[in-house]
Structure 1
Amino acid sequence: MARAAGEGEVVVSRGEDGTVHVVGGPVATSDFTRAVLDVAGAVLDWPVLGGAGLPTAEIHDVQRAQQWLWAVYGEQVAAAVHACAVGELASVRVPAEPTPLAGSAARLGFGHWAARWWPASHLDGIPALQPDVLGLELAALTHTCQQLFDADDDQPDDCVAELIGDHEAALDALIQWWHSTPPSSGTARQLENVLRTVDDAADSAGLDGEALRHLRTALDRPRPDGNPVDAATLFARNDDYALAAGEPLITGGRVVARGTGTNDWRRYPPGFVDASETAVSWTARALGARRQIEVEVVAHIAAPVAEVPLAAEVRVNDGPRSRVPLSRRVDVWSGRADLDLPAGETEPHIELGVLLPGFDPGPGSYSGADREAIRALVRQRLVTAATATQLDAPNSPPQDGTSAPFLAEIAAATTDEDY
């Protein structure tokens, strides 16, 4: 067995099923601490909490992967992958040569992570990312990383046309932001790079439409000196979400117990539930001989208003799990159900979590410490984003890699909404 990879090295090995693995550092185990990309013949992932290093690769089709292996890891790693695939080697340590494509791929992977796992929370003071702004920057990054993909249909992250089509509503606002930003600043160059890359990607994909024609016109004309515009104003929400606007559930009776539940981000899609650890709460009441549980879950600002089958899963005294249907009222998902609880029970042990049936992978063992580490990470990124706008000096060097803030993070960091 080869030793663990040292700095600047990776371990290449062949599994029993023929899959070739490339490992260059720590591997994240929690779903929400991994940034993942589906690429030609492989899956790449990075530990979100471990900094932007070389990805781990699980290669199931070495022939397809050879088109990008050398450009991400260097030629020696590409040769070692081939040798392991054909059985010449079982495992080997080789030096890697990180490239610009590796940095762009890491940023793209982190952007997809942010679209899925960003822990937006009114309770924790973490603003949401504007999805259209993030989507357009992901479209630009995907176009930049086209060497990672091929013509096969098994790469869901090769979605430039879909990203532009879904998020083109933000193009006019990005153009205004670009025009209002000092042209020599890093933010202005980042905005211009995203806009020009989106334009090139749309042209390559044969996309057309009023928003894209306006973009082309704006890029072809000399850049005007616009008046300063607050990015937070450009992307402000127009909705009626108001934290704690709803009346609490009151059903009478004697309170038997109350507590908070587990808020496992893996069990529902993004945009449904406030990401705070305290977002899920419950109260058990005695109503004569009956026992009833009331559930309240703070909704995400983007939570759907229409009926969806969001539910709370309840387990009492290590018994079977049952589900309580939830419905949204303003800023809260709520519901109630009878409890199978002995009349004399005074201190029931109740476990409760929120989930979307059909999406839910099932209860896991991921700890709150993992989620708190993610919150600390995004808070630091927002501080960096806010500082970047305040100190955006002329002729500052362009930023790249996962440590540099996305445009959506810069806009979120300047929000004046009540977070």
Structure 2
Amino acid sequence: MPEQRWAVTRAEDGTVRIAGPSAGPAFTRAVLDVAGAVLTWPVLGPTGLPTAEIHDVGQAQQWLWAVYGEHTAAAVDALASGAPASEVTLPERPTALAEAAARLALGHWAARWWPASHLDGIPALEPDLLGLELAALTHECQQLLDESGEVEGIELLEEHLAALDPLIRWRESAEPPRQLDRVLRLIDEAADNAGLDGEPLRRLRSALEQDHGRPTAAPLDLAELFVRQREFALAAGSLSTGTGRVIVRGSGTNDWCRYPPGFVDAAEDAVSWTAYALGAGRRIEVEVVADVAAPVGGVHLAAEVRVDGRPPSRVPLARRDDVWSGRADLDIPASTTPGIEVGVLLPGFDPGPGADERAAREAVRALARHRLSEAAAQPAPFLAEIAAAAAGEEEF
């Protein structure tokens, strides 16, 4: 591997930056908040060391040397004390802590940005299963974290205990994943350190104390063990008035950054619309294929509709089965065929429309398909990806 030299610079606000690979839109970046800094890896690029934005050099010194090496840690300390910017030579291979941090960041990325889509044939990741592996990785990376990060790891463990018994059964099966035993032992350590108890954790400790040697049980049906019940009604077109004349129809923009994870199927064509003529009036009906997350009471998506380049208006969407849908009258002359653009968003969450990122979204879909289909994918698949691949073989 060729020698890597990265710049270490200091901004006007005092933030010290270790410059790594550039990243694209938010959904192509794996981000990890650590003690005194934020670390970022490009999801679509090769794995390696992250870019660091260090806002508290004193806190960051607890892990800098273990991720970037002693020379980089010294350069950051010198820069914070007034020395000029410099270049540093990075370790030829990522350290064990750097590799664990990269995997933890990728897991958090998957929890937020995994492009689950019934339309595209990309199964969702079971959140309890992913959450437990993230809890284990958080414990493994505790050197990187401040107190709030350690608390987050315990909260992940408590929130996702529902997957613990299935994981124990998987460990005792004929073909458990290579990392499963280590994940369970890290969960046990994290729970013990936090003083957690309860029947699932007691069963875990009992299972880990047993020297069962090579598993002898029959292979498990992972689709049965982990898959959640997901039935897609996909009742497209059911809003139609039946009396209107279709003027024009099309697909809208499905910008993943404009709504929370799990609200909308990640497919590019999940947003569709139809404009009707109702006598002299005009109406638009919007339908959006929903994903698995059920919104809490009172939470509604909206469609942003722009006609002929004019300022956009919003159409409230209500969820019915597995479709978000809504309609509104259009203020356009009856003699014209309008140019219509439609997007979907959650008011209050939406950061506003971004650039055209369809190519980046397609690259993320390709990454997900690769990770589901290749047992040798790097970094190694998460337990939730292994289970999703098995479920996907039956579902799609």
| TM-score bucket of the superposed structures, by smaller chain | over 0.9
Task: Note the C-alpha offset of 1:105.
Answer: 0.4
Match of 1:41 among 36, 40, 47: 36
Assess, with a 3 A threshold, how the Cα gap between structure 1 residues 271 and 86 changes in structure 2: closer, same or farther.
same
Matched, 1:231 2:222: yes
Work out the CA distance in 1 between the residues paired with 2:11 and 2:236.
54
Match of 1:30 among 25, 33, 36: 25
Task: Identify the range of structure 1 (67-76 vs 284-293) with the bigger mean alpha-carbon deviation.
Answer: 284-293
Match of 1:403 among 379, 382, 385: 379
Q: Which residue of 1 aligns with 2:360?
A: 370
Matched, 1:204 2:198: no
- For the Cα contact (< 8 Å) 1:307–1:327, is it kept in 2? no
Task: Identify unmatched segments of 5+ residues in structure 2.
Answer: none
Task: Note the C-alpha offset of 1:7.
Answer: 4.2
Aligned Cα root-mean-square deviation (Å):
1.7
Work out the CA distance in 2 between the residues paired with 1:209 and 1:19.
43
Work out the CA distance in 2 between the residues paired with 1:338 and 1:286.
10
Q: Partner letter of residue 34 of structure 1?
A: R
Task: Note the C-alpha offset of 1:369.
Answer: 0.3
Task: Note the C-alpha offset of 1:221.
Answer: 2.0
Pairs within 5 Å for 1:61-76: 61-76=56-71
Runs of 4 or more off by more than 3 Å in structure 1?
Answer: 302-307
Q: Which residue of 1 aligns with 2:95?
A: 99
Q: Partner letter of residue 102 of structure 1?
A: A
Assess, with a 3 A threshold, how the Cα gap between structure 1 residues 356 and 59 changes in structure 2: closer, same or farther.
same
Pairs within 5 Å for 1:8-407: 8-24=4-20, 26-89=21-84, 91-97=85-91, 98-151=94-147, 153=148, 155=149, 159-182=152-175, 187-223=176-212, 225-239=216-230, 241-245=231-235, 248-251=238-241, 252-304=243-295, 307-346=298-337, 348-385=338-375, 403-407=379-383
Q: Partner letter of residue 418 of structure 1?
A: E
Task: Identify the range of structure 1 (104-113 vs 249-258) with the bigger mean alpha-carbon deviation.
Answer: 249-258
Task: Note the C-alpha offset of 1:360.
Answer: 1.0
Work out the CA distance in 2 between the residues paired with 1:177 and 1:167.
16
Q: Partner letter of residue 209 of structure 2?
A: D
- For the Cα contact (< 8 Å) 2:307–2:341, is it kept in 1? yes
- For the Cα contact (< 8 Å) 1:280–1:295, is it kept in 2? yes
- For the Cα contact (< 8 Å) 1:246–1:330, is it kept in 2? no
Task: Note the C-alpha offset of 1:208.
Answer: 1.3
Work out the CA distance in 2 between the residues paired with 1:143 and 1:243.
40
- For the Cα contact (< 8 Å) 1:122–1:418, is it kept in 2? no
Identity of aligned residues (%): 65
Task: Identify the range of structure 1 (32-41 vs 301-310) with the bigger mean alpha-carbon deviation.
Answer: 301-310
Q: Is the partner of 1:263 in helix, strand or coil? A: coil
Task: Note the C-alpha offset of 1:96.
Answer: 1.2
Work out the CA distance in 1 between the residues paired with 2:236 and 2:310.
32
- For the Cα contact (< 8 Å) 2:177–2:383, is it kept in 1? no
- For the Cα contact (< 8 Å) 1:122–1:243, is it kept in 2? no
- For the Cα contact (< 8 Å) 1:299–1:331, is it kept in 2? yes
Work out the CA distance in 1 between the residues paired with 2:151 and 2:316.
36
Task: Identify unmatched segments of 5+ residues in structure 1.
Answer: 1-5, 389-398
- For the Cα contact (< 8 Å) 1:11–1:93, is it kept in 2? yes
- For the Cα contact (< 8 Å) 1:40–1:148, is it kept in 2? yes
* Greater length-normalized contact order (CA 8 Å, ≥ 6 residues apart): 1
Work out the CA distance in 2 between the residues paired with 1:417 and 1:248.
28
- For the Cα contact (< 8 Å) 1:42–1:61, is it kept in 2? yes
Task: Note the C-alpha offset of 1:32.
Answer: 0.3
**Deviations for 1:219-278, whole angstroms, at most 9, x for unmatched residues?**
112326322212221012235x22424662111211111110000001111111000000
Task: Note the C-alpha offset of 1:417.
Answer: 3.9
Work out the CA distance in 1 between the residues paired with 2:246 and 2:239.
13
Work out the CA distance in 2 between the residues paired with 1:291 and 1:363.
26
Matched, 1:413 2:384: no
Task: Note the C-alpha offset of 1:289.
Answer: 1.8
Task: Note the C-alpha offset of 1:342.
Answer: 1.4
Work out the CA distance in 1 between the residues paired with 2:3 and 2:24.
21
TM-score in terms of structure 2 length: 0.94
- For the Cα contact (< 8 Å) 1:232–1:414, is it kept in 2? yes
- For the Cα contact (< 8 Å) 2:236–2:287, is it kept in 1? no
Q: Is the partner of 2:172 in helix, strand or coil? A: helix
Work out the CA distance in 1 between the residues paired with 2:167 and 2:197.
18
Work out the CA distance in 1 between the residues paired with 2:62 and 2:41.
20
Work out the CA distance in 2 between the residues paired with 1:273 and 1:367.
17
**Deviations for 1:73-100, whole angstroms, at most 9, x for unmatched residues?**
00000011111111112x2111112311
Q: Is the partner of 1:360 in helix, strand or coil? A: coil
Work out the CA distance in 1 between the residues paired with 2:344 and 2:12.
38
